[in-house]
Chains A and B, each alone.
Chain A
Amino acid sequence: MEDTSRRTTLKALGATLGAAAFARAMAPLAAWPEDLSIDELLQRHYKELSRDDMVRVLRRLEQETLDQYGAVVTIDDVRPIPEVQFGYALNLSVCVGCRKCAEACHVENNHDRATNQSYIRVLEIKNGSVDLAMGTVDYDHAVPKKGRSYMPVQCHQCDNAPCVSVCPIEATWKEPDGIVVVDYNWCIGCRYCEAACPYHARRFNWHKPEIPAEEINPDQAYLSNRVRPQGVMEKCTFCLHRTRKGRLPACLEACPTGARVFGNMLDPNSEIRWVLENKRTFVLKEDLGTRPRFFYFFDK
């Protein structure tokens, strides 16, 4: 019997030590709740939020931006305009590869400063090919370089979007105007969509983005350029916080050569419509059946 009680004592000691060690191991989590509220934890999917819920969420997010970044911002829930189907086209004959579009995206969309994040990557490809395998994004010389052409790539807002199909929880979907969006407060960060996208269009928030308060673009929308939380997916939204209010995407405005054409494809007088009707356009990796809304064309 003495042996039994010794064993019991030992077991109790073991259990106590184990519990203490477990607490120690979990200790880093103590730093977590700082930017995690119960409201956020229980928040429902974008499409399940009533107007009132949404207003409350928007005010909370604005407050969080103020608390965490020291910036006063307005976050809107900008809805799609009926009878609008957005399309984008890019003239490869005039693009010079200056990456002004990528820079404008970086600023407009409140991207992390340290990683110089942007939704646009510009490929430099040797003339005589449009094969991506022949391209590089790491060029570092004066542009345009002789014998090279340039191909900016961003989200193609595919009509048959693999990123949308694979998401296990509908955290990403296609809006009525064709824009593929992410609910940053619903995404669990599994990165399945990033694996599924054939155009390297998705970006993950590997860390909490860092942006100085004075550099934060205060004109924000829930589904687009508000500062994203850590651990969720994001992507180009055709600047829906601008374009759904009748403005043009930031990348288009920044382009010095006028290579970019954006607009409502349903409007017969729009420039995008003219390009689609009069130019020979092509889309990337057409064979995959993704049906992009981002078109490339050449002048001649």
Chain B
Amino acid sequence: MNHARSYPAFLRDAVGVATDGGWPFYTWMTLLTALALVGVNAWAQQVVGGMGLTAMSDHVSWGLYIANFTFTVGLAAGAVMMVIPAYIYKDKAMHDVVIVGELLAVAAILMALLFVNVDLGRPDRAWHLMPGLGRFHWPVSMLTWDVVVLGGYLLINLHICGYLLYTRFLGRRPEKRWYLPFVMLSIAWAVSIHTVTAFLFSGLGGRPFWNTAILAPRFIVSAFVSGPAFIVLALQVIRRVAKVPIPDAPLHTLLGILRVTVLLNLFFVGSEVFTEFYSGGSHTASASYLFLGLHGHNALVPWIWTALAFHSVAAVILLSARAKEQLWLADIACALTFVGVWIEKGMGLIIPGFVPSTLHELVEYMPNELEWRVVVGIWAAGLIVFTLGIKIAVEIFAGRMRHQLPEVEPDEPQHAGGA
């Protein structure tokens, strides 16, 4: 097999598939592109006008961007909940669709990286963060660890997706030694990305709201909520829209995982709340601000109670027997709990760390329109990557995108395994 010829062919066909489809596809992609461009434009304004165009301040110096960063890192880590059943428990049905999780990991990490980059006051100096080029403050700064683990996770998953799709494209069976070690690595790595991201916050002694050992476990558990929830919804859409015959089995596996993680997540929130409120003292101020409001400042109260309500309703739905038969009920639960984690591990986690400030000033924060535009833009960009990845994968797995062996090489020996 001549890769020098077949790989460009793969890329060319991939571009072809990625730009070809019916009207629903074009409409969806046009919509996403338009939204992404709105985000690009908002970011460009922010770069020129300064971060002061956002609602952040010296009191609340991280906002919606870092909230979404945290959440998308979790989403990327959560994708591993397909990988584990597929490869460790050798779940055949899951194995057939595991590429969805791997593509989600890629898209989510890209979003996470975009979210940190739009948060930089000097994006023109982003190269200072490159190991080797700048001055990498490793291993002391947790942020450098995050650069390493996020970059690594992206590369590992790009390799896995790329390899699996390319070999299928060639009509071959993927060789285990070229991807299985990476899959195993990606499982451990997935845990590391969200752990390190939790350490970013929990390592700060001056912010009692974050400075707790349970933060990393809480992060991991909520990743195992948001990841499976998103994948269930994605699989449902792929079944309906792309007419891919995906059986119910992987959905049930994912819902089985969710049933546990949703409860665990609520349990961790409860433990945290108990410790904060029962012991009292000024350490409780942030938690009070979040859940009850503090001295008339209560901007986050509706957010967090919405999140908890969504989580609880989702938990009840998932535990009910009916959700096992009627998947649309499970879909609702997934959507609810996805939004729930987005609030709770996003705004609900970042903002109270700053309110009250370290000198106990109460300055609130609500993202402004520009920040929303940037955030919507990045989500649209992430969905573009995910949609295209899925579309290419579907075409390849259905055998519609397959390498045409050029006729001049009729005697190319067939590979051993045979697909």
Q: Which residue of B lies closest to A165 (CB)?
A: B140
Q: Is the CB of A204 within 8 A of B61?
A: yes
Q: Which of A65-73, A79-87, A94-102, A195-203 makes up part of the contact surface?
A: A195-203
Q: Which of B44-52, B224-232, B259-267 makes up part of the contact surface?
A: B44-52
Q: Which residue of A lies closest to B29 (CB)?
A: A14
The verdict on A288 contacting chain B, using a C-beta distance below 8 Å, is yes
The verdict on B282 contacting chain A, using a C-beta distance below 8 Å, is yes
The verdict on B27 contacting chain A, using a C-beta distance below 8 Å, is no
Query: Which residues of chain B are within 8 angstroms of A190 by Cβ–Cβ distance?
Result: 116, 119-121, 143
Q: Is the CB of A195 within 8 A of B61?
A: yes
Q: Is the CB of B49 within 8 A of A207?
A: yes
B23 to chain A, nearest CB (A): 11
Query: Which residues of chain B are within 8 angstroms of A168 by Cβ–Cβ distance?
Result: 129, 136-137, 141, 143-144, 147
Query: Which residues of chain B are within 8 angstroms of A229 by Cβ–Cβ distance?
Result: 122
B33, B142, B359 interface centre (most CB from chain A within 10 Å): B359
* Chain B proximity mask over A233-265: 1 for CB below 8 Å, otherwise 0: 100000000000000000000000000000000
The verdict on B31 contacting chain A, using a C-beta distance below 8 Å, is no
Q: Which of A52-60, A132-140, A292-300 makes up part of the contact surface?
A: A132-140
Q: Is the CB of B359 within 8 A of A123?
A: yes
Query: Which residues of chain B are within 8 angstroms of A28 by Cβ–Cβ distance?
Result: 41, 44-45, 47-49
B37, B61, B126, B205 interface centre (most CB from chain A within 10 Å): B61
Q: Is the CB of A196 within 8 A of B47?
A: no
A200 to chain B, nearest CB (A): 5
Q: Is the CB of A289 within 8 A of B44?
A: no
Given known pairs A26-B41, A137-B359, A206-B52, the reply for A186 and B128 (CB within 8 Å) is yes
* Chain A proximity mask over B354-378: 1 for CB below 8 Å, otherwise 0: 1011111100000000000000000
Q: Which residue of B lies closest to A233 (CB)?
A: B121
Q: Which residue of B lies closest to A198 (CB)?
A: B206
Q: Is the CB of A167 within 8 A of B45?
A: no
Listed from nearest, the 7 A-B pairs whose CB atoms lie closest are A189-B121, A198-B206, A231-B121, A206-B52, A168-B143, A25-B41, A28-B44
Q: Chain A interface (Cβ within 8 Å of chain B)?
A: 7, 11, 14, 18, 21-22, 24-29, 31-32, 36, 41, 45, 48, 121, 123, 131-133, 135-137, 153, 162, 165-171, 186-192, 194-200, 202-208, 229-233, 285, 288-290
Q: Chain B interface (Cβ within 8 Å of chain A)?
A: 19-20, 33-34, 37-38, 40-41, 44-45, 47-52, 56-59, 61-62, 116, 119-126, 128-129, 134-137, 140-144, 147, 200, 203-207, 282, 285, 353-354, 356-361
| Between-chain CB contacts (< 8 Å), 6 pairs | A22-B37, A167-B137, A189-B125, A200-B58, A204-B61, A207-B49
